[in-house]
Amino acid sequence: MKIKKQKDDWHQSDAILLSSIDSLIKHTIVNYDYEVPYIAGYSTDGKTIYIDKNLPKFFLDNNKKVYIDKFIILHEVLEKHLLSIPGFTYQYAHQIALRIEKQVVESSKVDWEKYDKFIDRWVKIIDKDYDIPPDLDLTPYIDEHDKKLIDVLKKRIKKPIITSHERTKLRDLV
């Protein structure tokens, strides 16, 4: 969608917001080949967004298909970029990404409560033995102090690519 420059385009605009999301997604590598804790994640280098292979691509809202990928991709891209700010924790990054995700969901004329309920249900369903990406960034799980999940991930990861930041946090948990 091409947006025509408008006189007051510095004001809130759903059209510009949604166009910017489409542009962001077009320039993002998305991989659906793995199982990912918490539904989605990102590679340690931030170049790939992983969405759990078992997560449905849409949910039904009043018999209308609502495709969810763009909302999840946006959330993960924002979260990963925010984590590059010194001193920023996963919790801070997640809260900002979640609020922006909500705004985009609502700007897309999707009921946030229904979307959020669908996502929450799948977070619980997907929680099992994982075939995870070899370069999955473990920061969210480490910052959440999810020791049980971290232990499972450490056993499952085939070729661990762990940043020094993650290594320090893992060492602190043990």
Looking at residue 125, what is its pLDDT? 66
Which range of 2-16, 18-32, 39-53, 153-167 scores highest in mean pLDDT? It is 39-53
74: confidence class by pLDDT, cuts 50, 70, 90: very high
- The class (CATH top level) of 14-137 is alpha beta
Looking at residue 83, what is its pLDDT? 94
Region 73-101 average pLDDT: 94
pLDDT for residue 9 is more than 90 = no
pTM of the model: 0.80
15: confidence class by pLDDT, cuts 50, 70, 90: confident
- Between 90 and 147, name the one with better pLDDT: 90
* Distance from C-alpha of 174 to C-alpha of 169, rounded to nearest angstrom: 9
Distances (CA, A) of 137 to 92, 157, 165, 168: 16, 11, 11, 14
Residue length, the chain?
174
Looking at residue 31, what is its pLDDT? 97
Q: What are the residue ranges spanned by the domains of the chain? A: 14-137
17: confidence class by pLDDT, cuts 50, 70, 90: confident
Sort strands 58-61 and 64-67 into parallel, antiparallel or unpaired.
antiparallel
Query: Exposed, middle or buried: residue 9 (CB in 10 Å: 0-12, 13-18, 19+)?
Result: exposed
48: confidence class by pLDDT, cuts 50, 70, 90: very high
Mean confidence (pLDDT) of the chain: 83
Helices 69-82 & 14-26 angle (0-180, nearest 10): 80
